[in-house]
């Protein structure tokens, strides 16, 4: 047990040490030393996680570090929960994390603030580990806010550009709107259960009847938190803007790990969500709507990172759709494969951007498959994976989600299949425009250094074979991941596939055929383009709307941003300047005025005083007369 405790503490402690050491020593660390150190520490955390993972025994272990908040009857320990779910997330975070750290050594090589970058990246890894390892909601919330801060810092890493700073603030504030839900959910749960420990809450929740209003409220509030962090409707507009950050940040934070925190949270509290069918419906339809939203917007974006960002939004929608129908292991499986292929897509896109000296517009790319061969092959594998081509990883994980939703709601299934076709379209559009045809830009493309391409190759292998983690029964697999997670997540083992094998085969064949058809169509449009037609002057209304991202940003500006600024200015300009202060000053002036007036009576004129006295006597007499 001592070994488990020590390892569990080491996992977050190593990146924290890295953040502190690199952060405070940032002036002394020259060249690649900051990057090497940061990468080594995250790799160390990965090794610790791996040892813990290999030695797991299917039990839930609580590692109590110290008492954090203890007041009244509130007792919130600083403790970690080690079980199959947290171990799996730890592997993803530290595994993908070390690859992206390694890649960043090359990518950030020329940046003068490279040490600061690695300090913040390590701090992010630490926060993310707290998030997934916490034994109660509040420890998770430390990580939850910590990753938000790191995301803010890293989006605005190049702080001299005002738009980047705005994007960072936007991300943080939208996340905080979600956090309102999270904080309220925690206060409600503390009020209801008297504890925030996952184990105790899940134990006690068993005694609640399904659809208890308290549970429904708590789960809806938790889901509000999840929509903020995981960029679901309506809190998603920050994620595309977050692409302002360096590309490794987009890969690690805004694709592979942080944005999946919302999914983790729901899976972690699956017992509660199982008791709230209403919330599950909300999750399903928000997920489906977001999957469609992201996929449509991805169609006409020309910034390679923006396409990938909307693709992330869309894929997260898939994961939530799975959670909405109670398919937790399918959701977690897609979290895993998505971490592989989306991190790869971003890193490969970063490699392209690096090769072209910062160019992100796919209209100015083309023909790069010759000059950047490794990048091209890895990007191709990731694209095939995300499109769901068998036998790559995305095929299995997406198929799991589609099959689960089909038995719950064929309509949702239909939308998700349509979104999968759109996914294939926008991804292959990017692939063809970037790597096929002939080069349309002016830079001199060159392949990235080994330190960047090696992580690409590792991720490409994972994207290709990652499906093996959870091969369904119809392929003769044993759904390894599902069985493993089943030891930790309530409701996973109960997820039974009611579909007959023939229905499953048919659904699979249908979606694969439709995707292949879409790819062929995309090839005819973009495959052999050597020059690009200009945008037609009069696009149809729907296309224009989608190209403008459904005007969501504009809508929020009109609905919230501008009125809030107006309110802020006017509460001060009117409420404070014209009312509050003048009232105080006025009351002083009034007192002064009364005094001025009273002073005038002190004329020094004896007859005036006598007159006043007589007047008083008369009034007094009259009063006594009439009241007598």
Partner 1 sequence: MELLALVLIPFIAAMLLLAFRPAAMARGIALVSTLLSFALVLWLWYSWNGSMVIGVSHDWVPAWGMRFVLGYGGIGLLMLILTGLLFPFIIGTGYKQPVGDPSLVNALLLFCQSALFGVFLAQNAFLFYVFFELSLIPIFFLLMFWGGAHKRSITIRFFLYTLLGGLALLFSVAYVTLQTPVPHSADFTALAALDLPMNVQVWLFWTMFLAFAIKMPIFPFHSWQPETYTMAPTQGTMVLSAVMGKMGLYGIVVFLFTIVPEGALHWSSWVIGISLFGALYAAVIAFRQNDFKRMIAYSSMSHFGLMCAALFTWNAYGISGTLYQTLAHGVLMVCLFYIVGAVAQRTGSTDFAGMGGLKTKMPRMALLFMFVTANAIALPLTQSFVGEWLMYNGLWQWNNWTAFAGVALIVLGAIYMLYAYQRVMLGPDRAIDVTDADDEEHFFLVPLIAITLLVGIFPNVILHVVDGPVQQLLNSFTSLP
The residue ranges that bind partner 1 (CB under 8 A) are: 66-74, 138, 141-142, 145-146, 149, 152-153, 156, 159-162, 165-166, 168-169, 172-173, 176-177, 179-180, 183-184, 187-188, 190-191, 564-565, 567-569, 571-572, 575-576, 580-581, 583-585, 588
| The residue count for the chain | 628
Tokens at 455, concatenated? 């992580």
Task: Give the shortest CB-71-to-partner 1 separation in angstroms.
Answer: 4
Contact 124, 136 (CB under 8 A): no
Task: Give the shortest CB-168-to-partner 1 separation in angstroms.
Answer: 8
Rounded distance, CA 558 to CA 563, Å? 7
> Whose Cβ is closer to partner 1: residue 113's or residue 440's?
113
Task: Give the shortest CB-144-to-partner 1 separation in angstroms.
Answer: 8
> Whose Cβ is closer to partner 1: residue 591's or residue 615's?
591
Quick one: which of 153, 45, 151, 133 has its CA closest to 96?
Answer: 45
Rounded distance, CA 351 to CA 305, Å? 12
Task: Give the shortest CB-556-to-partner 1 separation in angstroms.
Answer: 14
> Whose Cβ is closer to partner 1: residue 153's or residue 492's?
153
Task: Give the shortest CB-620-to-partner 1 separation in angstroms.
Answer: 29
Task: Give the shortest CB-66-to-partner 1 separation in angstroms.
Answer: 8
Residues 6+ apart with CB under 8 A from 138: 68, 69, 76, 186, 196
> Whose Cβ is closer to partner 1: residue 15's or residue 445's?
15
Residues 6+ apart with CB under 8 A from 501: 474
> Whose Cβ is closer to partner 1: residue 112's or residue 476's?
112
Task: Give the shortest CB-136-to-partner 1 separation in angstroms.
Answer: 12
Task: Give the shortest CB-67-to-partner 1 separation in angstroms.
Answer: 6
Rounded distance, CA 628 to CA 625, Å? 5
Quick one: which of 304, 32, 253, 14 has its CA closest to 121?
Answer: 253
> Whose Cβ is closer to partner 1: residue 165's or residue 302's?
165
Contact 152, 167 (CB under 8 A): no
Rg (the chain; Cα; Å) = 31
Rounded distance, CA 174 to CA 178, Å? 7
Tokens at 610, concatenated? 């006598």
> Whose Cβ is closer to partner 1: residue 226's or residue 462's?
226
> Whose Cβ is closer to partner 1: residue 224's or residue 485's?
224
Task: Give the shortest CB-588-to-partner 1 separation in angstroms.
Answer: 7
Give, in order, the Cα–Cα distances in Å from 323 to each of 265, 268, 328, 500: 11, 11, 5, 22
H or E segment and range at residue 54: helix 33-54
> Whose Cβ is closer to partner 1: residue 113's or residue 529's?
113
> Whose Cβ is closer to partner 1: residue 500's or residue 584's?
584
Task: Give the shortest CB-596-to-partner 1 separation in angstroms.
Answer: 17
> Whose Cβ is closer to partner 1: residue 25's or residue 491's?
25
Output the 3-class SS for 129-144: HHHHHECEHHHHHHHH
H or E segment and range at residue 74: strand 74-82
Rounded distance, CA 102 to CA 106, Å? 7
H or E segment and range at residue 380: helix 373-387
> Whose Cβ is closer to partner 1: residue 35's or residue 228's?
228
Tell me the three state secondary structure of residue 208. coil
Give, in order, the Cα–Cα distances in Å from 506 to each of 11, 386, 468, 513: 44, 20, 21, 10
Tell me the three state secondary structure of residue 230. coil
Task: Give the shortest CB-240-to-partner 1 separation in angstroms.
Answer: 19
Gap between the terminal Cα atoms of the chain: 95
Look up tokens 């017992």; give the residue. 271
Provide the Cα torsion 178, 180, 183, 188; round to 10°: -110
């Amino acid at each position: 047990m001592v070994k488990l405790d020590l390892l569990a503490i080491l996992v977050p402690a190593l990146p924290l040490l890295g953040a502190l050491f690199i952060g405070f020593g940032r002036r002394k660390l020259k060249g690649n030393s900051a990057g090497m150190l940061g990468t080594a520490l995250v790799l160390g955390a990965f090794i610790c996680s791996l040892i813990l993972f290999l030695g797991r025994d299917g039990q839930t272990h609580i590692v109590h570090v110290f008492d954090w908040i203890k007041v009244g009857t509130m007792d919130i320990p600083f403790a970690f929960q080690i079980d199959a779910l947290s171990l799996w997330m730890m592997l993803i975070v530290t595994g993908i994390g070390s690859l992206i750290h390694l890649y960043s050594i090359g990518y950030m090589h020329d940046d003068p603030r490279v040490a600061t970058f690695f300090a913040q990246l390590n701090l992010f890894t630490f926060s993310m580990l707290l998030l997934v390892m916490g034994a109660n909601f509040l420890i998770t919330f430390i990580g939850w806010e910590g990753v938000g801060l790191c995301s803010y810092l890293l989006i605005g890493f190049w702080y001299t550009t005002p738009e980047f700073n705005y994007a960072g603030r936007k991300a943080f504030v939208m996340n905080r709107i979600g956090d309102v839900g999270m904080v309220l959910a925690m206060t409600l749960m503390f009020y209801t259960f008297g504890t925030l420990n996952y184990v105790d809450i899940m134990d006690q929740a068993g005694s609640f009847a399904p659809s208890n209003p308290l549970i429904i409220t708590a789960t809806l509030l938790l889901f509000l938190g999840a929509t903020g962090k995981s960029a679901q409707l309506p809190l998603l507009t920050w994620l595309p803007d977050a692409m302002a950050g360096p590309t490794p940040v987009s890969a690690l934070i805004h694709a592979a790990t942080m944005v999946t925190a919302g999914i983790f949270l729901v899976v972690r509290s699956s017992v509660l969500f199982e008791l709230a069918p209403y919330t599950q419906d909300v999750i399903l339809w928000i997920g489906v709507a977001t999957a469609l939203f992201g996929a449509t917007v991805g169609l006409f974006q020309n910034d390679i990172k923006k396409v990938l960002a909307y693709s992330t939004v869309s894929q997260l929608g898939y994961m939530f759709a799975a959670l909405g129908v109670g398919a937790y292991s399918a959701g977690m499986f897609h979290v895993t494969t998505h971490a592989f292929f989306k991190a790869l897509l971003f890193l490969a896109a970063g490699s392209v951007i690096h090769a072209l000296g910062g160019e992100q517009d796919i209209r100015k790319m083309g023909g790069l498959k010759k000059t950047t061969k490794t990048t091209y092959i890895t990007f191709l594998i990731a694209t095939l994976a995300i499109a769901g081509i068998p036998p790559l990883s995305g095929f299995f994980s997406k198929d799991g989600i589609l099959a689960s939703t089909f038995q719950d709601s064929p309509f949702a299934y239909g939308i998700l299949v349509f979104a999968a076709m759109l996914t294939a379209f926008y991804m292959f559009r990017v692939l063809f425009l970037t790597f096929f045809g002939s080069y349309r830009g002016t830079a001199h493309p060159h392949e990235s250094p080994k330190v960047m391409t090696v992580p690409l190759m590792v991720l490409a292998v994972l994207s290709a074979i990652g499906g093996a983690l959870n091969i369904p029964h119809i392929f003769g697999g044993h759904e390894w991941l599902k069985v493993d997670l089943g030891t930790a997540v309530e409701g996973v083992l109960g997820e039974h596939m009611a579909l007959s094998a023939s229905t499953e085969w048919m659904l699979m064949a249908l979606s694969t055929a439709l995707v292949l058809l879409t790819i062929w169509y995309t090839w005819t449009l973009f495959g052999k383009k050597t020059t690009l037609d200009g945008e037609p002057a009069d696009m149809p209304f729907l296309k224009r709307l989608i190209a403008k991202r459904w005007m969501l940003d504009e809508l929020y500006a009109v609905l919230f941003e501008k009125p809030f600024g107006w309110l802020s200015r006017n509460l001060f300009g009117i409420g404070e300047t014209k009312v509050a202060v003048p009232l105080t000053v006025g009351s002083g002036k009034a007192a002064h005025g009364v005094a001025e007036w009273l002073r005038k009576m002190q004329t020094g004129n004896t007859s005036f005083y006598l007159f006043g006295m007589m007047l008083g006597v008369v009034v007094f007499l009259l009063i006594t007369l009439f009241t007598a």
